[in-house]
Each structure stands twice: as C-alpha cells, then as structure tokens.
C-alpha cells in the first residue's frame, strides 16, 4: 500500500460498505456527506445492547432500554412505530433474562468485559506483514476465557453458514490474534429474535459459533489490504453488473442532484 493513505483507520462496517458499493463508501467516508438515515432499527439494536450490558453489570435493564430507545431520536415518519418496538423490546429482554442463566452456564459469559473498544494494527498471521493503518471497532463482549461474543437482533433465524462470510467475525478474530498471538477460543453470535414468545414455538434466540483458521485470517488480511489499496487509488465505481436500485448511493445522488 502507498505510504500516504486516505484513511487514518478503518472498521468492519467500512469494509462492508466498500464491498457492498464503493460509490456509497466514497460518499460516506471520503466526501463525508451527511444525509439523514432511518434510525429505528439502529436505535432499537443499541437499546437492546444497553439492556444486555446492564444485565452483566447487575443493573435493571428495562429502564436503560427505555432511556436509550428515545422517541425523539427517531425520524418523524418512524415515531408512530415507537410503542410497538418498545413493547417488543420489553418482551425480548424478558425472554433473554429467562434464558441467561443457561447461556451463562454453557458459555461462561459473566466473566468478561462488555463494549470493548479496539484500535490496533492487524498482522498477517502467516507472513507477519502489518497493515499501515489500524482497525477500530467495538466488540460486544470479550470473555476472560477468550470468547468473542456478539449480540444481534433479527427478524428471522440466521443460517449456520452465514458466519463463514461475515467480515466482522474474521476481522475481530484477526484483531485478537494480532493482539494476543493466539486464536480466540471461539466467536459466539447470540441472536435475539424480534418476536414474542408465543410466536414460533417459543424460539426467542439463537446461538451460532465460529472458529476461524489462520488461513482464513490471512485471506481476510489480504482482502482488506486490496480494498485499502483501491481506496487509495480512488476506485469508487459501482459494482459491475446488476446494482440494486435501493442502494443508498442513489439516494445520495438524488438528494445532491448529482448526474448518474
């Protein structure tokens, strides 16, 4: 990579955006153009995370959920859904509290740290090569036993194979190896389903596990290095072939009256 870089750091979400649409990446992170974004799903997820963190800290989770899921932070067109999501969040937290003792017994979740902010240079585990800029991110939970734990909310269950292609999983594992010189014990995704307990025969959550290999992590290192080089070389064209009309890159251009 060139010694002069356009970014001071990168995150897993930035890499996801570039892989989805380089043009979208440009508008968000290089041009740094701000457009109002729908908030309800992001805010709801943050509120659920805050409640889970409260459980680990032996605090009352419902009040923190309500405080974080602030109606005033929603766009006007989303505010009519606030009560529905408030009730759903209360139900999801209640369901998780019932399952938490079992999950903790199985995965030893209680011993660890929540909301772990990381910012480090990543290292290729096979060659020792270092990236020129650090990766930053926030891991939901890092247990004392070496488990990376991510909490997600989802309207439906994930397929088990989904974890094999999640760059967030691979990058956090690469960070762990770069930091500690060993692979994490495992990466857990605890997925809280957006449904009431009476729906779906009581299935209210899902647990998926992933163990990465050094070869996978080396491949991720190379893939990210290629992306960073493309960014430095001003490669921000849309993906070739079909590009979905709902991509936010079009919204940026419509709002700013750009010619497509």
Beta strands per DSSP E along the chain: 112-120, 135-143, 147-154, 186-193, 205-210
Q: Is the pTM of this model over 0.85?
A: yes
Q: For the ranges 113-122, 164-173, 224-233, which has the lowest average pLDDT?
A: 164-173
CA angle 126, 177, 165 (to 5 degrees): 80
Given a cut of 80, whether residue 162 has pLDDT beyond it is no
pLDDT of residue 164: 61
Q: Measured between alpha carbons, how far is 149 from 190 in angstroms, rounded to an integer?
A: 7
Least confident of 10-19, 35-44, 106-115, 231-240: 35-44
Taking only the tens place, the pLDDT of each residue in 91-107 is 999 999 999 999 999 99
Of 120, 121, 119, 138, which Cα lies nearest the Cα of 129? 121
Query: Any idea how long the chain is?
Result: 260
Supply angle C-alpha 203, 204, 205, rounded to 5: 100
Q: Indicate the helix (H) or strand (E) that contains 93.
A: helix 82-107
Q: Where are the domains of the chain?
A: 111-228
Cβ neighbourhood burial of 26 (10 Å; 0-12, 13-18, 19+): buried
Confidence grade of residue 72 (pLDDT, cut at 50, 70, 90): very high
Q: Identify the pLDDT of residue 190.
A: 94
Q: What is the CATH number of domain 111-228?
A: 3.90.320.10
């Amino acid at each position: 990579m060139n010694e002069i870089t356009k970014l001071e750091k990168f995150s897993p979400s930035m890499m996801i955006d570039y892989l989805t649409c380089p043009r979208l990446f440009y508008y968000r992170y290089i041009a740094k153009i701000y457009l109002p974004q729908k908030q309800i799903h992001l805010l709801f997820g943050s509120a659920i995370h805050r409640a889970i963190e409260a459980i680990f800290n032996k605090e009352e989770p419902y009040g923190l959920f309500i405080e974080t899921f602030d109606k005033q932070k929603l766009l006007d067109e989303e505010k009519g859904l606030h009560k529905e999501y408030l009730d759903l969040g209360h139900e999801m937290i209640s369901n998780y509290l019932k399952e938490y003792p079992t999950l903790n017994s199985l995965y030893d979740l209680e011993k660890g740290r929540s909301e772990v902010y990381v910012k480090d240079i990543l290292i290729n585990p096979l060659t020792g090569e270092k990236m020129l800029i650090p990766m930053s991110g926030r891991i939901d939970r890092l247990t004392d036993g070496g488990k990376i734990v991510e909490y997600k909310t989802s309207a439906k269950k994930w397929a088990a194979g989904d974890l094999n292609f999640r760059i967030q999983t691979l990058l956090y594992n690469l960070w762990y190896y770069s930091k500690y010189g060993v692979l994490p014990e495992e990466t857990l995704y605890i997925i809280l389903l957006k449904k009431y307990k009476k729906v779906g025969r009581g299935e209210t959550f899902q647990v998926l596990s992933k163990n990465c290999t050094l070869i996978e992590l080396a491949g991720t290192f190379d893939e990210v290095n290629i992306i960073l080089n493309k960014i430095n070389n001003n490669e921000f064209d849309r993906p070739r072939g079909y590009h979905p009309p709902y991509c936010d890159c079009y919204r940026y251009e419509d709002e700013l009256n750009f010619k497509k």
